[in-house]
Amino acid sequence: MKPSPSPDPLAALLSEWRVHPLPDPHFRAAVWQRLAQRTRQTWPAYLRSHALAWSAACVVAVVAAGWTGHRVAQVRLAEQREQMVVAYLGNLDPRVLARTTPPP
């Protein structure tokens, strides 16, 4: 049989300990004052205070748009190249054109 653990005086003290903070009478007024200050902020002031985040968002959007446009252009270029090759070979030998067009 295991011996019973000795009672820890710290555990008993912590179980009895309670914090009773005093309420701040000006808390609600301070919150409303901070909210009022935020609503008075103009759009240019907001952009100046958040310039880094908005700049990063704009850079990401421009890079994504550029990359997407580049990929779309590559796909279209490959399709046009394939059409030009088939047309060229079809003009040289009509039998090649018959092999490259799918049956109806």
pLDDT tens readout for residues 41-71: 788 888 888 999 999 999 999 999 999 999 9
Q: Is residue 89 packed enough to be buried (19+ CB in 10 Å), middle (13-18) or exposed (0-12)?
A: middle
The CB density around residue 97, as the number of other CB atoms within 10 Å, is 14
Residue 35 lies in a domain: no
Residue type, 74: Q
Residue 90 lies in a domain: yes
Residue 91 lies in a domain: yes
Residue 87 lies in a domain: yes
The residue segments making up the domain with residue 88 are 74-104
| Domain count for the chain | 1
Gap between the Cα atoms of 48 and 42, Å rounded: 10
pTM to 2 decimal places: 0.46
Residue 86 lies in a domain: yes
Contact present, 84 and 98 (Cβ < 8 Å): no
Gap between the Cα atoms of 63 and 66, Å rounded: 5
Residue 61 lies in a domain: no
Residue 47 lies in a domain: no
pLDDT tens readout for residues 70-95: 999 999 999 999 888 888 887 887 77
Residue 52 lies in a domain: no
